[in-house]
């Protein structure tokens, strides 16, 4: 009981303070009648209620109000206005409506019917608007439309803070301009800076793309924004998902941060990283920080990682697209793996070029040369070109290796498996012979050219062309001097054995 009495006393005190403030406001801010064509009283409506007609003009402080007719309640300091209602406040705010109920002590105006509010470059349209002049706040419920120089906005409810020119909108919020349409459920709009801040599921659409996020901001005049929390971008050619996305629609570029996933819908190529940059106007893109390109083909999935992945269109070369991967480039698929310092790919000739100590592994074969390139046909690796110190090594057991070397080797692949190699200029081979499934001798031969056929990653047929010279040695006569070529290096420890290994770079200095 005592507790209830204390609460009641506290509430009474608050009400008393509010009444005192209102009474004080009455003394200092009365609604004044400045002019009209006709005036009378109507006690049936309220005691001492004045019925005023024709070109009515009222004033309270810096607020002027105009209408066709009004009921003025002098003792209450209120009035009801009807017909061509027009309110002005200061030199910027104007409000038009069919009717108005104004509470003078609270300085609260309630506009109803065809309401239009003007404030500098902003226009607000609604059927019902309350304007709290003490708090410099206008708010509506049910429906409202805001128009400024940059965009048009509609929502179910909204608040407008006239001093800061900031809007808060809630439910079924739609922002449109000539370039896009934005849908959200909660929006804060800064009219001075044309900045829209959203704090709920939001979609931005235009003819060619779609942005989505649950937090972020967008500048409606400059057409740029930063979004996060389930951020995504979609168009007819690709999709992008990331933690945070910055996008400049006018300059047509974007930056993505954190868990970036870009999917190409045309060629089944995906790109992942923690940072990506895309310039739509220049058709260029860059990815760093765990950058990985993933290509899905009919026979395998290929993963390529490097410090930086770069793609651009060379306008000086007929609009040909080029792709670069640098540095510490490593690639993994189930059937083929590779590593080098950097990779260049041109769509002009569908050729991939490897630079900086390139090595390729296929099944039990290792391919190495000063220069390596290969062709891509229908998203499949077909031919490998090796030049200068070219060597192919296949493991027979822990100490015996088939070896093919030459100045130039062309390897032919099918389904990412080495099927044939053509060796030109200074061709040499070390090839182990078997009897009853056991190694029994080694064939060491040299000639100008040879053709080697492979099965299951091992050479199973060698065709020597143009006067081969060689010898067959039994295993007991083999030693370190004749079992290996001078530039032999078995680099199994450098080979990526699973996808995760492409992110682990091991330093390597080639044998000289």
Q: What's the pLDDT tens digit per position in 384-407? A: 999 999 999 999 898 999 999 999
Q: Please say whether the beta carbons of 118 and 91 come within 8 A.
A: no
Q: What's the pLDDT tens digit per position in 219-261? A: 988 889 999 999 998 988 889 999 999 989 888 899 999 999 9
Tell me which DSSP letter residue 512 carries: -
Taking the C-alpha atoms of residue 403 and residue 397, their distance in angstroms, rounded to an integer, is 13
pLDDT at residue 507 greater than cutoff 80: yes
Classified as helix, coil or strand, 24 is helix
pLDDT of amino acid 229: 95
Half-sphere exposure of 316 (CA within 13 A, CB side): 0
Q: What's the pLDDT tens digit per position in 402-458? A: 999 999 999 998 877 888 999 998 899 999 998 888 999 999 999 999 999 988 778
pLDDT of amino acid 28: 55
Please state, in angstroms and as integers, the Cα–Cα distance from residue 11 to each residue in 20, 186, 237, 281, following that order. 14, 34, 64, 64
Confidence of residue 44 (pLDDT cuts 50, 70, 90): low
pTM: 0.77
Please state, in angstroms and as integers, the Cα–Cα distance from residue 220 to each residue in 36, 214, 365, 374, 379, following that order. 44, 17, 58, 48, 41
What residues have CB less than 8 Å from 19, skipping those under 6 apart? none
Written as six digits, the tokens of 352 are 């991939």
Q: What's the pLDDT tens digit per position in 139-169? A: 998 899 999 887 899 999 999 998 898 999 9
More confident residue, 347 or 118: 118
Q: What's the pLDDT tens digit per position in 60-116? A: 999 999 999 999 998 899 999 999 999 999 888 999 999 999 999 999 999 999 999
The Cα diameter of the chain in Å comes to 132
Please state, in angstroms and as integers, the Cα–Cα distance from residue 161 to each residue in 117, 139, 140, 246, following that order. 12, 9, 12, 28
pLDDT at residue 307 greater than cutoff 90: yes
- Closest C-alpha to 410, from 392, 434, 397, 395: 392
Mean per-residue pLDDT, 329-349: 92
pLDDT at residue 26 greater than cutoff 50: no
Classified as helix, coil or strand, 18 is helix
Q: Please say whether the beta carbons of 161 and 152 come within 8 A.
A: no
Sketch the domain layout of the chain as residue ranges.
1-29, 297-512
Classified as helix, coil or strand, 12 is helix
Element (H, E) at 7: helix 2-28
Mean residue pLDDT of the chain comes to: 88
112 beta partners: 99, 128
- Closest C-alpha to 254, from 268, 238, 266: 238
What residues have CB less than 8 Å from 235, skipping those under 6 apart? 208, 209, 210
Instruction: Classify domain 297-512 by CATH number.
Output: 2.60.450.10
Please state, in angstroms and as integers, the Cα–Cα distance from residue 495 to each residue in 95, 189, 288, 336, following that order. 75, 55, 23, 10
Taking the C-alpha atoms of residue 256 and residue 508, their distance in angstroms, rounded to an integer, is 33
Taking the C-alpha atoms of residue 357 and residue 490, their distance in angstroms, rounded to an integer, is 14
Mean per-residue pLDDT, 313-327: 85
pLDDT at residue 380 greater than cutoff 80: no
């Amino acid at each position: 009981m005592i507790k209830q009495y204390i609460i009641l006393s506290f509430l009474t005190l608050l009400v008393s303070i509010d009444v005192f403030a209102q009474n004080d406001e009455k003394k200092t801010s009365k609604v004044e009648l400045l002019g009209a064509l006709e005036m009378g009283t109507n006690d049936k409506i309220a005691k001492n209620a004045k019925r005023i007609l024709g070109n009515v003009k009222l004033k309270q402080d810096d607020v002027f109000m105009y209408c066709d007719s009004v009921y003025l309640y002098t003792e209450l300091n209120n009035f009801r206005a009807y017909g061509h209602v027009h309110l002005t406040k200061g030199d910027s705010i104007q409000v038009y409506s069919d009717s108005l109920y104004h509470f003078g002590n609270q300085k609260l105006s309630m506009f109803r019917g065809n309401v239009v509010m003007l404030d500098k470059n902003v226009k607000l349209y609604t059927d019902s608007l309350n304007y709290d002049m003490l708090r410099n706040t206008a708010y509506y419920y049910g429906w409202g439309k805001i128009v400024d120089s940059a965009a048009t906005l509609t929502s179910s409810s909204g608040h407008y803070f006239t001093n800061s020119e900031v809007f808060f909108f809630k439910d079924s919020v739609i922002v449109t301009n000539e370039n896009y349409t934005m849908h959200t459920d909660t929006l804060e709009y800064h009219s001075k800076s044309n900045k829209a801040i959203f704090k709920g599921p939001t979609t931005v659409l235009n003819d060619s793309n779609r942005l989505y996020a649950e937090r972020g901001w967008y500048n409606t005049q400059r057409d740029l924004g930063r979004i996060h929390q389930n951020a995504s971008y979609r168009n007819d050619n690709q999709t992008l998902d990331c933690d945070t996305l910055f996008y400049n629609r006018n300059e047509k570029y974007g930056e993505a941060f954190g868990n970036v996933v870009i999917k190409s819908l045309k060629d089944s190529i995906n790109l992942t990283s923690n940072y990506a940059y895309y310039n739509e106007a220049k058709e260029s893109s860059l990815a760093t920080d765990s950058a990985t390109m993933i290509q899905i083909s009919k026979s395998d999935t290929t993963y390529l990682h490097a410090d930086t992945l770069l793609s651009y269109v060379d306008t000086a070369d007929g609009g040909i697209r080029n792709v670069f991967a640098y540095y510490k480039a490593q690639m993994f698929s189930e059937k083929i793996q590779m590593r080098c310092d950097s990779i260049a790919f041109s769509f002009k000739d569908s050729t991939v070029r490897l630079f900086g100590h390139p090595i390729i592994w296929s099944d039990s074969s290792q391919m190495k040369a000063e220069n390596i390139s290969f062709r891509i046909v229908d998203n499949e690796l077909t031919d490998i070109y090796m030049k200068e110190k070219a060597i192919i090594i296949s493991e027979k057991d822990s100490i015996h290796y088939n070896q093919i070397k030459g100045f130039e080797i062309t390897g032919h692949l099918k389904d990412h498996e080495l099927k044939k190699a053509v060796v030109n200029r200074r061709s040499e081979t070390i090839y182990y012979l078997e009897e009853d499934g056991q190694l029994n001798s080694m064939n060491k031969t040299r000639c100008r050219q040879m053709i080697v056929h492979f099965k299951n990653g091992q050479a199973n047929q060698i065709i020597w062309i143009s006067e081969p010279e060689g010898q067959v040695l039994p295993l007991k006569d083999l030693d370190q001097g004749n079992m290996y070529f001078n530039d032999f290096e078995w680099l199994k420890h450098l080979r990526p054995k699973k996808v995760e290994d492409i992110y682990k770079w091991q330093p390597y200095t080639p044998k000289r």
